[in-house]
Chain A
Amino acid sequence: MNINGEFIAFFIFSVLAIGGAVFMINLTRVMHMALALAFTFFSIAGLYVLLDAPFLAVIQILIYTGAVSILMIFGIMLTKHKDEDKVAPFTVHKLLSLLGVGGFLAIVIWIIYRNPFFSTGEPQAAAFKVTDLGKAMFKTYMIPFEVTSILLLVALIGAIVLAKREEKK
Chain B
Amino acid sequence: MDFFVILGPVVLLFIVLGFVTYAIFFERKVIGWIQNRVGPNQVGPWGLLQTVADVLKLLIKEDVIPQKADVSLFKLAPIIAYTPAFAVLAVIPFTESLKFADIAVGLLYYMAVSSITTIGILLGGWASNNKYALLGGMRSAAQMISYEIPLVLSVVGVAMSAGSLNLTEIVKAQQTGVWFVLPQFLGFIVFLIAAIAELSRTPFDLPEAESELVAGYHTEYSGFRFAFFMLAEYTYIFAMASLITLLFFGGWSAPFGLTFIPPLIWFIFKFLFFVFFLFWLRATMPRIRVDQLMEFAWKVLLPLAILNIFLTALFKEIPVLSQFY
Contacts and interface: CB of A to CB of B under 8 A. Distances in A.
Contact of B115 (A55, A67, A74, A129): A67
A31 interface: yes
A59 to B, nearest CB: 7
Interface stretch (B50-58, B100-108, B198-206, B263-271): B100-108
Say whether chain A's binding surface is mostly helix, strand, loop, or mixed: helix
A24 interface: no
Interface string B77-112: 000000000000000000000000001110011011
Contacts of B108: 55, 58-59, 62
A66 B141 contact: no
B119 A55 contact: no
A77 B116 CA distance: 17
Interface in B125-150: 125-126, 129, 134, 137-138, 141-142, 145, 148
B105 A130 contact: yes
A61 B122 contact: no
Nearest to B1: A5
B113 interface: yes
A77 B111 CA distance: 24
Say whether chain B's binding surface is mostly helix, strand, loop, or mixed: helix
A95 to B, nearest CB: 34
Interface string A53-85: 011001101100111011101100100010000
> Interface range on chain B: under 10, 10 to 19, 20 to 34, or 35 or more?
20 to 34
B183 to A, nearest CB: 21
B112 A62 contact: yes
Interface residues of A, number: 25
A106 B118 CA distance: 38
A77 B134 contact: yes
B119 A73 contact: yes
A158 B206 CA distance: 33
A73 B122 contact: yes
B126 A77 contact: yes
B123 A35 contact: yes
Given A67-B145, A77-B126, A129-B104, A62 B165 contact: no
Interface of A: 29, 31-32, 35, 38, 42, 54-55, 58-59, 61-62, 65-67, 69-71, 73-74, 77, 81, 129-131
